Amino acid sequence: MANENVSVWTSIPFWRRSAAWVTGFATMLLIWLSFDTLGQITMGTDADLKNNVTKRVPAPTVINYHIDYKMDAKRGHEIPVIGEKQPFFGKEWSEEEAAQLLHLGKLTSQAKNCMNCHTLLGNGAYFAPDLTKAWLDPAWQAGGPLQGMTGKNTVEEAMAEFLQHPSQYPTHARMMPNLGITAEEAKGLVAFLKHMSSIDTNGFPRNFSKSVETFKAGGTHAQ
């Protein structure tokens, strides 16, 4: 009986070998991506900040620094820029104090279910403004309506006052309810928001600077 030419595409051994190679390659790629991601999201240290070493997730002591958000022409989107030292609630916080304050803020954001209404780093609900870069919203800055409304002189004091007594400062139709946030919890939440604004989120939320320009031209919140 004459031998028949069997197409490689119908060869079971070929597909078995191909599956093994593809699975092996995909596994190695996944391992490499996992290690690369861990390196990207590992929180920096206070020493990094002092030595101007840029980390995607800065140390908790970044709350002691001025934070800006500027366009990076090379990357094609905005990135956080850590500036000079800046008092936070009137003082410079030690590494331990800053870490504890951030921890309190994170726990408070979870306990008060902030993501039931807001988005944090893109996660959560869309009933209220995204809070990823809330610290940078010009409405909270000197001369902004929210800072002026609270009668406070700094961003952190204005935000903390608002968080404790939201019903006293109506901002739009969807008013924030009074969640019984204490003064210390408010400080923690503001620290949490300031730290979150320092995280390099690859330009998220998009066009933030354009919304800032709209606000300065007479629009509403940047968020």
Please tell me which residue, 15 or 192, carries the higher pLDDT value.
192
Q: Where are the domains of the chain?
A: 11-39, 45-217
Each residue of 52-76: pLDDT tens digit? 888 999 999 999 999 999 889 998 8
Rounded mean pLDDT of 126-150? 91
What global pTM score does this model have?
Answer: 0.81
Q: Is the confidence at residue 214, as pLDDT, over 80?
A: no
Fold of 45-217: Cytochrome Bc1 Complex; Chain D, domain 2 (1.10.760)
Quickly count helices (H) and strands (E) in the chain: 7, 4
Q: What pLDDT, on a 0 to 100 scale, did the predictor assign at position 197?
A: 95
Q: Is the confidence at residue 42, as pLDDT, over 90?
A: no
Q: Which of 123, 101, 82 is nearest to 188 (CA)?
A: 101
- Buried b / exposed e across 33-50, counting CB within 10 Å, b at 16+? eeeeeeeeeebbbbebbe
Quickly list H helices, 6-141: 12-41, 46-50, 95-111
Under DSSP, the state recorded for 48 is H
Each residue of 72-124: pLDDT tens digit? 999 888 999 999 999 999 999 999 999 999 999 999 999 999 999 999 998 99
Q: Is the confidence at residue 2, as pLDDT, over 60?
A: no
Q: Which of 146, 145, 120, 142 is nearest to 133 (CA)?
A: 120
191: its two tokens: 């620290």
